[in-house]
């Protein structure tokens, strides 16, 4: 069986093999360690000159990636924990993502910044956050997140081939997850469609007409599926699931199509609720359609505590999604 | 006045302080397998001479900003092992009620946070406050060799030097940042990075707590003198993995550095009968800490900020 | 007549006078220059030891402010241009705003970070942004913005007295604006109410029942009033205006009350539209009420160009607000 | 091969390069009152010897990352005055179509951005790319004394030194950052901040373009030699305000520094008849640039990214 980690690692290997402009840089990424979450494992053995372990200098890592990208290389930078994206905010917002436009399209900046986000591993308040929302809507920056339905390898390869900067968000708990197989296991009861393009959006429609739409990305797709199952089994409520790979720029057509059918939206994410990803989904949906019902499921507006008894209550649960579904349908 | 017996500065107490740290961290690492602790931790084992030496000379009212590897600092500062153990177990009785965990603790004038580098300007700001409030306190901020990579360190050195702030930069060079050896991460000279800003440096390759102590005494006195920041660079060795299982070092290298054990080095100064005494006193502190903490309740969420 | 600049400057003077724990720090804030936008003018002359001009070190400025706040001072830090908040993101998100909560309420962090945001002065892509949205919803951080209706002095004084960290957003074009006087000039045709508390929300109700609600903050209140006037004069459409001083945490009760009356929401802000302030307003409103009509007015999802011909089209205009109002009413 | 006549390295051309910069900036400043230019700008007047000297020795294919005070660098690099003027006026014919304006320009291998410090790691990344692609190019990055305050500079120095990148740090110390004198912003020693990382420094207090030239030649050769980064520190003076009207310096100080005029200093090496020639050739370039640019249309918004 293949895990998300395997596929991400595979994509890095394949990209480095097929294009010698691809460089990987980040903290502690050399073998045998292969990075804090092992995504870069094997790369430095195979491509010793193109895998660069850096000092603890997140801003410089991303700044250097910008410079490399401007001058003919294709850098893939790893930020060890997503919590540290605050340190690269200036490089992403005021440099990498601006250059193409402010230089009147005379340049491209093909860089990827990969980073693990998310909690539930007891890492405490500075190593458990989901801060991607700070970068959603930044002009010129794409934000992409893999999941178990699409192939994370394709997604990462597309990000590496992308001529514009991409922030690639990997939830820590996804790494060990198995990829799903269409038509099998808990996908059996869904018809799965996906949009064309590099960063597909998936639409999962149950066998019966759905009562509501669950929108999610990344690891929360795992929770959303469980919640959908519970809603069917316990309450005979059917959900369509819209699973995004591309978080930003926002392209919500599949969501709108689903909402045409259900009129009810539940968004699911792990970041804190206020001005999270779901806010933009809610806003665009209500701008487009009248009479919608909307409910967002996300973390409480608190830091992620270290103690599991607190973390479990702060981060969204399957039950929270079920409750949102029930609330909105009833 | 010390908060507890740990920080008295006779040889026995110095030894005992180091032993408390050693046994605390060992017990902590073992608790991961019992499932009583989740997440991760950064053990101070091997570096005990630094904390024990430094906190034997700074004033208990001085302010400390520590980093991810903070347990040793905290225990040598005089912090209670029980409250720390409770924090690590995510208990309501923990130092900060289980909210912070290993890297984010606070007690009296001791603070820590898990972001490399970011704590340094904060420590400088604290030093400014102590200076302006004429408290006579200095601020100690702890960084590792790897943290020399972070830009905010240099911003802080510059301002601290310009404003003559009473701050002591303590750089513990254990030759590795996680898995990265210092040669791959630090160009040029460590000490020159401080002297370039006009900050005087006290530097030693040592695991002898008495050497650390005398060096720390000088550096702290300089920081307290009103002439501005000072820097203490201690080249040391960490015996355990960076956190859990991330250790790229060869068995030979590990064997070599284990010979430079602060407990062994300082142990030569103790009388034979002091060892069992230290062992039993320390066992009691550490066992009591973990055993008591493990019985405590988990915190409830109070959801307002 | 009194300008917003006068009042902000006055508040700093008064706060420094009445509490010697108040310190002001930032780049180029000494007299005679008195800061890039003159907000700190006169302070260094009057309080030479408590006004600290710093090197160009934004991260350290805010980091130092945190340390000062933790140890008994009340720092007010100036970041010369709001575009540079990306450089202080780590200090705000992973340090200042977290300490109180992660230290179990054993500490308070009474700091203020003041910074000018906004365009329309031809300063180009790195000196014209409205990036406050990156910090809305950050747990533990308040985001406050003055306007011409409330007294900016009261607002800033409240921020300085606040025991928690406050990010205080000043739109550059507001500085020279005159304060409005209740019942006079273009306020004459409105009944103005405000919430209690330090950071009031204002509700402006026209003499006739309103067709829609305009939500705004800061400088955009100037545009919203003009748009409201145009909507009345040209189209006989009446608007309530809900003017926020506190952007985050989101407390939207006055907005909801207005929407109960109008059912139609237009949000106005100068930041780029996607996942801007208006998104959270839209999301919370639709979560609460069914059948709402919503339209957001904001900048295009592009950098702010230097050329005026481009900037004018990128940033929201009075006409854009009018159009949104017409769209939503018709 | 140079892109245009400005960069030839005889005395006349060096003078002319400096004069183009001087007259361009003067004209630019005057255009604010005509309303043809809005926003702000940072004039290079007084520092012309730096740019003229440096770009008389670096290769035209070398890569440049410049900062907010970039016009002088750009013109000495061989950039066209007309396209720059058009950019400053927000015209479609500008270097980057009016999108960037004064601080955000790009042409061939020349780049600039208006965020202090942030450009330095980018320049280091460019140097890495040139090195890996074996182009033989070096990257020049321009910073001011004030920019020594930004942490990303030190992160970049460290990595550039570790990886032996072909980058030349050019530090133009004009003694002020906006209104802040260097004593209030820079602790310790400027050059030691570079040597601490093992980066060799060439440093001079001079406004003589020939001195700059010979120093730059050595520093650039070092950066190109494969041994890693080099640093050129030039102590100079800016004559105009930082941007517009923000100048805290006393009339005496201004009078004193105006005596250290690179045009006067280098002018001593010119024959009498060369002055009117320089003046008229430069007037033509500058007038043509602004006059032509002012007739060009403004850009239309293409709203897709
Ligand atoms: C900003 C930031 N980057 C990366 C990390 C992850 N990290 C935690 S400890 C560490 C190594 C630190 O090395 P050093 O400073 O030498 O201290 P040591 O662990 O050796 O005591 C790293 C990379 C972090 N916590 N914060
Ligand atoms: C990150 C950042 N902080 C502050 C500024 C505002 N600013 C622009 S130029 C300048 C002074 C720079 O001084 P210096 O580096 O000495 O260069 P000089 O202007 O003297 O050429 C300042 C503070 C900025 N552009 N970017
Ligand atoms: Mg280390
Ligand atoms: Mg300067």
Structure tokens at A250: 């926002």
Q: Residue C93 carries which DSSP code?
A: I
Query: Residue D128: its chain A contacts at CB < 8 A?
Result: 64, 67-68, 73
Cβ(B149) to ligand 1 under 6 A? no
Q: Which atom of ligand 2 is nearest to the CA of D178?
A: 11
Cα(D67) to centroid(ligand 4), Å: 11
Q: Which ligand is nearest to the CA of B68?
A: 1
DSSP notation for B108-135: TTEEE-SSTTTHHHHHHHHHHHHHHTT-
Same domain, A186 and A169: no
Give the integer Cα–Cα distance in Å for A263 and B224: 67
Using CB atoms within 10 A of its CB, is residue A291 exposed (0-12), middle (13-18) or buried (19+)? exposed
Residues of A in contact with D163 (CB under 8 A): 52
| Residues A143, A209 within the same domain | no
Residue whose Cα lies nearest atom 13 of ligand 2: it is D177
Q: Under an 8 A CB cutoff, do C94 and B115 touch?
A: yes
> Mean pLDDT across the stretch D120-146?
98
How far apart are the C-alpha atoms of C84 and A233, rounded to whole Å? 51
Q: Does one domain contain both A36 and A160?
A: yes
- Give the distance (Å) from ligand 3 centre to CA of residue B261: 17
Closest residue to C307, CB basis, from D149, D180, D299: D299
B64 touches chain C (CB under 8 A): no
- Is D23 within the bounds of a domain? yes
How many domains is chain B built from? Answer: 1
Structure tokens at A111: 């860089």
ipTM value of the model? 0.98
Q: In the predicted model, is pLDDT for residue D96 greater than 60?
A: yes
Q: Other CB atoms closer than 10 Å to residue C32's CB: what's the count?
A: 10
Identify whether residues A141 and A287 lie together within a single domain. no
How many whole angstroms separate alpha carbon D236 and alpha carbon D106?
26
Q: Which residue of C has its CA nearest to D180?
A: C28
Q: How far apart are CA C242 and CA C213, in angstroms?
A: 7
For residues C203 and C245, state if they share a domain: yes
The residue nearest atom 3 of ligand 2, judged by CA position, is: D116
Q: CA separation (Å) from D278 to A17, A299, B88, B170, D191? A: 56, 68, 75, 59, 36
The tokens of C126 are what?
Answer: 């790195």
**Which two three-digit tokens encode residue A89?**
């905010």
Sheet order of strands, D63-66 included: D106-107, D110-112, D63-66, D139-144, D167-173, D230-235, D201-205
How many Å lie between the centroid of ligand 2 and the Cα of residue B119?
A: 25
Q: Which atom of ligand 2 is nearest to the CA of D145?
A: 16
d(CA D233, CA D205): 8
CA distances from A143 to A202, C130, C272 (A): 16, 20, 16
CA distance D39 to D297: 19
What angle in degrees, to the nearest 10, is found between the helix axes of B81-88 and B274-295?
40
Picking from B168, B126, B167, B119, the residue whose alpha carbon sits closest to that of residue B147 is B119
Q: Are residues C288 and C193 in the same domain?
A: yes
Identity of the residue in A94, A274, A275 whose CB atom sits nearest the CB atom of C86: A94
- The reply to whether omega before C137 is within 30° of 0 (cis) is no
Which chain B positions have a beta carbon within 8 Å of A309's beta carbon?
90, 98, 298-301
Rounded Cα–Cα distance for residues D45 and D80 (Å) = 18
Q: Which chains touch A (3 or more CB pairs under 8 A)?
A: B, C, D
Average pLDDT over residues C199-210: 97
**Which of D96, D115, D127 has its CB closest to that of A95?**
D115
Identify whether B224 is part of a domain. yes
Please choose, from the candidates A7, A39, A21, the residue with its C-alpha nearest in 3D space to the C-alpha of residue A157: A7
Do A64 and A109 belong together in one domain?
yes
Q: Is D114 in contact with C127 (Cβ distance < 8 A)?
A: yes
Assigned domain for B296 exists: no
A134–C134: do the CB atoms touch at under 8 Å? Answer: yes
Locate the chain B residue with the closest alpha carbon to A54.
B185
B276: domain CATH number is: 3.40.50.970
Q: How many CA atoms lie within 13 A of B201 on its CB side?
A: 18
**Does the beta carbon of C29 lie inside 6 Å of ligand 2?**
no
Name which residue leads in pLDDT, D86 or B6.
Answer: D86
Closest chain A residue to the Cα of C125, Cα to Cα? A102
Q: Closest ligand 2 atom to the C-alpha of C87?
A: 1
In a domain, D297, yes or no: no
pLDDT at D280 over 70: yes
Partner A contacted by D211 (CB < 8 A): no
Q: How far apart are CA A317 and CA A298, in angstroms?
A: 9
Q: Which of A63, A65, A69 sits opposite D152 (nearest CB)?
A: A63
Chain A contact set for D139 (CB, 8 A): 67
User: Is pLDDT at D196 greater than 70 in this prediction?
Assistant: yes
Contact B158, D180 (CB under 8 A): no
Query: Residues D232, D238, D243, D244: what is their CA dihedral angle, to the nearest 10 degrees?
Result: 180
Q: What CATH number should be reported for the domain holding residue C106?
A: 3.40.50.970
pLDDT at D9: 57
Say if residues A185 and A159 touch (Cβ distance below 8 Å): no
Is D273:D10 a contact under the CB 8 Å cutoff? no
Would you say the CB of residue B114 lies under 6 angstroms from ligand 1? yes
**Do residues A167 and A190 both lie within one domain?**
no
Residue B222 in any domain: the answer is yes
| Cα-to-centroid distance, B15 and ligand 3 (Å) | 23
Residue B237 belongs to some domain of the structure: yes
A53, β-bridge pairs: A26
Cα–Cα separations (whole angstroms), residue A34 to A43, A46, A169, B186, D99: 8, 12, 18, 20, 42
Q: Which of B141, B43, B184 is nearest to C60 (CA)?
A: B141
| Cβ(C306)–Cβ(D97) below 8 Å | no
Pocket lining: B242 vs ligand 1, CB cutoff 6 Å: yes
Q: Given CB atoms, is B121 within the 8 Å cutoff of chain A?
A: no
CA D216 – CA C274 distance, rounded (Å): 47
- C-alpha B22 – ligand 2 centre gap (Å): 49
Which of A49, A65, A106 faces D125 most closely, judged by CB atoms? Answer: A65
Q: Look at residues D154, C87, C63, D129 and name the one whose alpha carbon lies nearest to residue A57.
A: D154
Q: Ligand 2 pocket, D53 CB below 6 A?
A: no
Q: Which helix (H) or strand (E) holds D294?
A: helix D274-295
Q: Which domain holds residue A237?
A: 181-329
Chain A residues 140-169 with a CB less than 8 Å from chain B? none
- Most D-contacting residue of C54, C56, C173, C303 (CB-CB within 10 A), to test interface: C56
Last residue of a domain, one of C155, C174, C193: C174
Residue D250, H or E segment:
none
CB A91 within 8 A of CB A66: yes
Confirm if B286 and B294 have CB atoms less than 8 A apart: no
A174 Cβ contact list (under 8 Å, min separation 6): A4, A146, A147, A148, A218, A219, A222
Residue C1 has pLDDT above 90, yes or no: no
Question: Residue for token digits 């990148």?
Answer: D165
Nearest atom (ligand 1) to Cα of B177: 13
User: What is the dihedral sign for C-alpha C244, A131, B176, D168?
Assistant: negative
Structure confidence at residue C179 (pLDDT)? 96
User: Quick check: B154 and D158 CB within 8 A?
Assistant: no
Question: Helix, strand, or coil here: A76?
Answer: strand
Q: What is the pLDDT of residues A271-309, one digit of tens each?
A: 999 999 999 999 999 999 999 999 999 999 999 999 999
Handedness of CA D11, D12, D14, D19 (dihedral sign): positive
pLDDT bin (cut points 50, 70, 90) of residue D303 is low
Nearest residue (by CA) to ligand 1, atom 1, is B116
Structure tokens at B247: 């250790």
Burial of A71 (0-12, 13-18, 19+ CB in 10 A): buried
A273, A306, A310: which to substitute to probe chain B, counting the most B Cβ within 10 Å? A306
Question: What pLDDT does B245 receive?
Answer: 77
Confidence band, pLDDT 50/70/90 cuts, at residue C262: very high
| pLDDT of amino acid A187 | 86
Query: Which residues in chain B touch residue A27, judged by CB atoms under 8 angstroms apart?
Result: 177-178, 180
pLDDT at D2 over 70: no
Write down the pLDDT at residue B60: 86
Q: Whose CA is nearest to atom 12 of ligand 1?
A: B177
Asked if B46 and B238 touch (Cβ cutoff 8 Å), the reply is yes
Can you tell me the mean pLDDT for D52-63? 95
Confirm if B78 and B285 have CB atoms less than 8 A apart. no
Give the DSSP letter of residue A172.
G
Exposed, middle or buried: residue C95 (CB in 10 Å: 0-12, 13-18, 19+)?
A: buried
The residue-averaged pLDDT of A215-238 equals 98
Q: Is residue B272 part of a domain?
A: yes
Give the closest ligand to the alpha carbon of residue D235. Answer: 4
CA-closest candidate to residue D229, choices D190, D203, D201: D201
For residue C127, the model assigns a pLDDT of 98
Contact A303 B99 (CB under 8 A): yes
| Domain final position from C174, C191, C215 | C174
CA separation for the pair C274, A283 (Å, rounded): 9
Whether B50 is in the pocket of ligand 1, judged by its Cβ within 6 Å, is no
Separation of alpha carbons D89 and D295, rounded Å: 10
Least CB–CB distance from A275: residue in C87, C89, C275: C275
Q: What is the pLDDT of residues A90-126, one digit of tens each?
A: 999 999 999 999 999 999 999 999 999 999 999 999 9
**Are C113 and C137 members of one domain?**
yes
Helix (H), strand (E) at residue C325:
helix C318-329
Say yes or no: CB of residue B146 within 6 Å of ligand 1. Answer: yes
Distance D208 CA to ligand 1 centre (A): 46
Question: Could you list the residue range(s) of the whole structural domain that residue D277 is in?
Answer: 12-290
Q: Cα separation of B49 and C279, whole Å?
A: 54
Say which CATH number the domain at C277 has.
Answer: 3.40.50.920
Q: How far is C54 from chain D (nearest CA, A)?
A: 7
User: Which residue from C36, C126, C302 is facing D103, i.e. has the nearest CB?
Assistant: C126
Claim to verify: residue C204 and residue C302 sit in the same structural domain: yes
D162 touches chain B (CB under 8 A): yes
**How does strand B167-173 pair with strand B139-144?**
parallel
- Tally of structural domains, chain A: 2
Whether residues C240 and C283 fall in one domain? yes
pLDDT tens track, chain B, 305 positions: 333 334 455 999 999 999 999 999 999 999 999 989 988 999 999 999 999 999 999 988 999 999 999 999 999 999 999 999 999 999 999 999 999 999 999 999 999 999 999 999 999 999 999 999 999 999 999 999 999 999 999 999 999 999 999 999 999 999 999 999 999 999 999 999 999 999 999 999 999 999 999 999 999 999 999 999 999 999 999 999 999 878 889 999 999 999 999 999 999 999 999 999 999 999 999 999 999 999 999 999 986 66
CA dist., res. A275 & res. A133, Å (int): 8
D22 belongs to a structural domain: yes
CB contact under 8 A, A56 and B117: yes
Distance CA C239, CA B18 (A): 71
The DSSP output letter for A239 is E
Q: Do C170 and C45 fall into the same domain?
A: yes
Q: What is the mean pLDDT of residues C144-155?
A: 97
A282 with A296: CB under 8 angstroms? yes
Pocket test for ligand 1, best of B41, B65, B68 (most atoms within 8 A of CB): B68
**Could you tell me which residues come within 8 angstroms of residue B259 by beta carbon, excluding any fewer than 6 positions away?**
none
Q: Which of A136, A150, A226 is nearest to A182 (CA)?
A: A150
Mutation target among B148, B158, B230 for the D interface, most CBs of D within 10 A:
B158
């Amino acid at each position: 069986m293949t895990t998300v980690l395997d596929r991400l690692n595979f994509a890095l290997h394949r990209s480095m093999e097929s294009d010698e402009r691809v460089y990987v840089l980040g903290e502690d990424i050399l073998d045998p360690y292969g990075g804090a979450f092992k995504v870069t494992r094997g790369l430095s053995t195979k491509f010793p000159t193109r895998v660069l372990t850096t000092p603890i200098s997140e801003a410089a890592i991303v700044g250097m990636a910008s410079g490399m990208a401007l001058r003919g290389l294709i850098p893939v930078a790893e930020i060890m924990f997503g919590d540290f994206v605050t340190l690269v905010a200036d490089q992403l917002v005021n440099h990498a993502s601006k250059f193409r436009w402010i230089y009147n399209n005379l340049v491209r900046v093909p860089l990827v910044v990969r980073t693990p986000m998310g909690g539930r591993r007891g890492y405490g308040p500075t190593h458990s956050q989901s801060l991607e929302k700070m970068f959603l809507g930044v002009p010129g920056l794409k934000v992409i997140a893999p999941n178990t339905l699409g192939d994370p390898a394709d997604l990462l390869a597309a990000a590496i081939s992308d001529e514009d900067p991409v922030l690639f968000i990997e939830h820590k708990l996804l790494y060990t997850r198995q990829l799903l197989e269409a038509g099998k296991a808990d996908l059996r009861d869904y018809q799965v469609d996906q949009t064309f393009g590099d960063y597909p959006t998936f639409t999962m429609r149950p066998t019966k007409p759905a009562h509501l739409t669950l929108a999610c990305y990344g690891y929360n797709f795992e929770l959303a599926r469980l919640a959908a199952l519970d809603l069917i089994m316990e309450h005979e409520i059917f959900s369509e699931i819209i699973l995004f790979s591309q978080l930003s720029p926002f392209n919500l057509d599949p969501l709108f199509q689903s909402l045409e059918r259900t009129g009810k939206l539940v968004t699911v994410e792990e970041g804190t609720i206020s001005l999270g990803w779901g806010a933009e989904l809610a806003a665009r949906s209500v701008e487009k359609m009248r009479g919608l019902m909307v409910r967002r499921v996300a973390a409480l507006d608190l830091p992620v505590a270290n103690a599991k008894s607190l973390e479990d209550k702060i981060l969204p649960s399957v039950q929270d999604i079920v409750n949102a579904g029930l609330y909105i349908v009833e | 006045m010390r908060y507890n017996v740990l920080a008295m500065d006779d040889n026995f107490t110095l030894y005992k302080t180091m032993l408390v740290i050693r046994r605390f961290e060992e017990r902590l690492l073992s608790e991961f397998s019992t499932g009583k602790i989740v997440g991760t931790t950064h053990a101070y084992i091997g570096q005990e001479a630094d904390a024990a030496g430094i906190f034997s000379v700074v004033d208990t009212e001085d302010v400390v900003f520590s980093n991810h590897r903070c347990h040793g600092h905290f225990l040598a500062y005089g912090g209670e092992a029980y409250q720390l153990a409770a924090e690590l177990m995510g208990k309501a009785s923990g130092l900060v009620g289980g909210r912070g965990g290993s890297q984010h603790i606070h007690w009296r004038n001791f603070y820590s946070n898990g972001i490399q580098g970011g704590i340094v300007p904060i420590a400088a700001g604290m030093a400014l406050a102590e200076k302006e409030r004429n408290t006579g306190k200095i601020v100690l901020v702890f960084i590792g060799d790897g943290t020399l990579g972070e830009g905010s360190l240099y911003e802080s050195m510059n301002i601290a030097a310009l404003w003559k702030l009473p701050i002591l930069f303590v750089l513990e060079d254990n030759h590795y940042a996680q898995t990265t050896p210092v040669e791959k991460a630090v160009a040029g000279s460590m000490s020159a990075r401080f002297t370039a800003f006009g900050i005087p440096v006290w530097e030693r390759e040592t695991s002898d707590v008495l050497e650390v102590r005398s060096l720390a005494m000088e550096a702290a006195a300089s920081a307290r003198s009103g002439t501005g920041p000072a820097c203490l660079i201690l080249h040391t060795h960490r015996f355990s993995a960076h956190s859990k299982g991330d250790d790229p070092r060869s068995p030979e290298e590990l064997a070599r550095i284990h010979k430079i054990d602060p407990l062994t080095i300082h142990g030569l100064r103790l009388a034979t009968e002091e060892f069992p005494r230290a062992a039993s006193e320390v066992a009691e502190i550490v066992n009591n800490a973990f055993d008591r903490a493990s019985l405590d309740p988990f915190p409830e969420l109070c959801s307002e900020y």
